Structure 1
Amino acid sequence: MARDFYEVLGVPRDADEDEIQRAYRKLARKYHPDVNRDPAAEERFKEINEAFSVLSDPNQRGRYDRFGEDFRKVPEDWEERVGAGAGPGGGFRWSTGGGPRVRYATSGFGAEGVDVDDLFGSIFGGAGRVRVPGADQEAELPLTVEEAYRGGRRTVTLAGPSGQPRRYEVDVPPGVTDGQRIRLAGEGGRGNGDAPAGDLYLRVRIQPHPQFRLEGRDVYVQLPVTPWEAALGATVPVPTPSGATAKVTVPTGSSSGRRLRLRGEGMPNPRGADGNLYAELRIMVPSRFSDRERELFEELAAVSSFDPRRTR
């Protein structure tokens, strides 16, 4: 089976024309045979060009979204023949009403009374009723960092093809990463006749977090420390996405920006090593001083020869 054109360009299925063009230009610059001498680059470049030629053409893209790799067998006037956009006749539409967006491909009798079974029979050369599987669908599943870390069972509500909400029970694996897809078999578009339904894919989108930053399975967190903890060394608590608090040792003479690694305290990985947690030190100074604190800082300033601006 040919690669999915959206995956070839690295764009989501609801990408607009600008996103598709930006992705194509970036990949074309990377894989053009005049630039990339890798023997495989030429084939990759051809694949990228084919994907762009289809997805940048609204008519071809519509047929590709509905029929997949068989879209070239579908006549260009298929929307007119099945009455696309004519009420219950079928076509494409985005769900509304809040929550994740999901694209539905529908079919049935068009405004001109064209039977989709007959149309598909003429397209694919079959006789009688033709079994056409339902289209796959995709929606976004927003998760917090903590939800992605823990995983577990979640109830997701999406707007169905008729606009009515549909509830799904989803098993989110622990340590799921941003962009990962969770497949719900048979929950996509309905097939033609007794053909099987398509699948529903939930693409994980991990939401921005006030404390944690994710890079793959590694987690980064800023760790505020006092000037004396950084200078003299200390053991201080650090939050983790599991909700527990870990301990990290700040070495003597640490400066802001120093990164301390806590091995295995990042996002869990069911298939390998867990990610790491990196605590990035940030030295904080009191905004107000007591008289005694000011005396001590002034004394330190008087006796210290340390100059951080001196060229080493």
Structure 2
Amino acid sequence: MARDYYEILGVRRNATQDEIKKAYRRLARELHPDVNPDPATQDRFKEVTQAYEVLSDPEKRQMFDMGGDPFGSAQGSGGFGGAQGFPFDDIMNAFFGGGMGNGGRGGARERARRGRNRRVQVQLTLAEAAFGVEKDITFPVAVLCETCSGAGTAQGSKPETCGTCSGRGEVSQVTRSFLGQVMTTRPCPHCSGAGVIITNPCADCSGDGRVRQNVTRTVRIPAGIDEGAQIQLAGEGEVGPNGGPRGDIFLEVVVEKHPLFERHGDDLHCTVTVPMTTAALGSSFTIETLDGPEEIELPAGTHSGHVLTMPGRGTHRLHGPGRGELRIQVDVETPTKLDEEQRELLRQLAELRGENQQPDKLSPGHGGLFSRLRDVFSGAR
């Protein structure tokens, strides 16, 4: 009877599978021939590997616990060529973090895989982005082939087991080196790891199990969304190969340029140009907002750069209540083409106001350049 396998791995008799696996990986890294080629160490490595094969298999572990021989008369002498008693795939997993399916023993890959995610642009007007909208979005995706229901085979036929890998989805090759026999495993090149071959494919999908077509989804766009934001439609993307689950759709928001407004966060900005006389005397005018035309008062003496604010006329806040502001910057237009009568009237106005057309100096405290700059910045706050 072999030594106590629990003692070999250094675990308790009631150790969990996870504890057994961790103990084996630790010892395998220390004892592997690539790390320590000493013959005595190789014998120890084979012993550890045999212990792991028994304790990681519920049936063999139970037989060992009952005092029986888990290998019976079929126990081989071991080696690194895949002989019974030495699970080489588990060794490779321990060193390279492999996960070849079927508990680390290789096997065909799943043919049905999750579909790809898709990015689709959705065009919005500024009003749609500000207030939200429900839109029908149409885009091309891969959908399940109705003819073969995703199987990829013609009616009345089915996939055949790959003759190259015998359905495992992998092929192995044993080579000799100064360390002994080394086995390498890779996906089967004939079936691409599926383990089966479609010899009679569906005429509509050519064996893929999918066909491309345009689909339409009704999407609710939230109020306040901005340029570049994304909306995820989970499970609305492409069907995976061979009937696999759908991927996701990511809608990327693109907001069309507005002829009047620019958006800055939740606020809207625009510029209006008024005549010099209107700015001086004050007036009221109508401006188009996203809510429709509204009247606004222009105070007398408004200077160029002054900002008029309309609270609650910006966009809705995406992550909170309320709306931003509409900020209107006033641009005072100075007349450039005057007839003689208009010039004379301006001269008379200048004389009445005591203003010199050609001042000797600019006074910061009396409407000069620095004063106007100060007013522009203070008015824009």
If the length of structure 2 is used for normalisation, what is the TM-score? Answer: 0.43
Q: Residue deviations 1:258-280, cap 9 Å, x none?
A: 22221111001253231111101
- What is aligned with 1:143? 124
| Correspondence 1:134 to 2:115 | yes
> Match of 1:230, SS?
helix
| Correspondence 1:247 to 2:223 | no
4+ runs deviating over 6 angstroms: none
| Correspondence 1:228 to 2:228 | no
Q: How many residues align?
A: 190
| Correspondence 1:125 to 2:101 | yes
Cα distance between partner residues in 1 of 2:263 and 2:305: 17
Cα distance between partner residues in 2 of 1:291 and 1:202: 62
Tell me the CA shift for residue 224 of structure 1: 2.0
Name the stretch that deviates more: 127-136 or 201-210: 127-136
Q: Residue deviations 1:102-123, cap 9 Å, x none?
A: xxxxxxxxxxxxxxxxxxxx96
- What is aligned with 1:214? 263
Q: Higher relative CO (CA 8 A, sep ≥ 6), structure 1 or 2? A: 2
Work out whether residues 238 and 279 of structure 1, in 8 Å CA contact, stay in contact via their aligned partners in 2. Answer: no
- What is aligned with 2:323? 274
Tell me the CA shift for residue 216 of structure 1: 1.5
- The aligned runs of 1:148-297 (5 Å cut-off) are 148-161=129-142, 164-193=213-242, 195-242=244-291, 244-269=292-317, 271-285=320-334, 293-297=342-346
Name the stretch that deviates more: 275-284 or 129-138: 129-138
Cα distance between partner residues in 2 of 1:195 and 1:159: 18
Pair member with larger Rg: 2
Work out whether residues 133 and 192 of structure 1, in 8 Å CA contact, stay in contact via their aligned partners in 2. Answer: yes
Tell me the CA shift for residue 253 of structure 1: 2.2
Cα distance between partner residues in 2 of 1:165 and 1:194: 18
Work out whether residues 141 and 237 of structure 2, in 8 Å CA contact, stay in contact via their aligned partners in 1. Answer: no
Name the stretch that deviates more: 248-257 or 281-290: 281-290
Tell me the CA shift for residue 190 of structure 1: 1.7
Q: What amino acid is the match of 1:255?
A: H
Listed as ranges, the gaps of 5+ residues in structure 1 are 1-121
Q: What amino acid is the match of 2:253?
A: V
The alignment yields a C-alpha RMSD, in angstroms, of 3.1
> Match of 1:300, SS?
helix
Shift in CA distance, 151/311, structure 1 to aligned 2, threshold 3 Å: closer
* Identity among equivalent pairs (%): 27
Work out whether residues 177 and 217 of structure 1, in 8 Å CA contact, stay in contact via their aligned partners in 2. Answer: no
Q: Residue deviations 1:69-116, cap 9 Å, x none?
A: xxxxxxxxxxxxxxxxxxxxxxxxxxxxxxxxxxxxxxxxxxxxxxxx
Cα distance between partner residues in 1 of 2:273 and 2:100: 65
